[in-house]
Amino acid sequence: MRPTVLVVDDHAEFRHSARALLDAEGFEVVAEASDGAEALAANERAKPAIVLLDVQLPDLDGFAVAEQLARGPDPPAVVLTSGRDARTFGARLSTAAARGFIAKRDLSGAALARLLG
């Protein structure tokens, strides 16, 4: 059984690229969302094992969405992503309710699998 993923990003082009890449590398993208509110609803509906979550969303910041997801009854593994480097977010990444961070340019099935152990 392939690990299920919800891809959350406000850029449709990135969502489509991430879906194609992850599907080709052994994951199953079961839902997409373009903002935090959609992400929370899609998580409830699709119940993915993993949420690939953009840090900068138009309505809620990705850190806040990660916190809300972590408080759910069966929280997914959250992996934060951004077009910016990890150092841009400083200590917020180390205290975030997420398994880790992958820069968008470094996204791959292998990178995701490494973070999830």
Task: Classify domain 4-116 at the CATH class level.
Answer: alpha beta
Q: What tens digit of pLDDT does each residue of 46-82 get?
A: 999 999 999 999 999 999 999 999 999 899 999 999 9
For residue 98, the one-letter residue type is: A
Q: What is residue 17's predicted lDDT score, i.e. its pLDDT?
A: 98
Domain ranges of the chain: 4-116
Residues 6+ apart with CB under 8 A from 79: 50, 51, 52, 53, 98, 99, 100, 101, 102, 112, 115, 116
**Percent of all residues in the chain with a pLDDT value above 70, rounded to a whole number:** 100
Phi-psi region of 107 (alpha: psi -120 to 50; beta: other; left: phi over 0): beta
For residue 53, the one-letter residue type is: L
What is this structure's pTM?
0.96
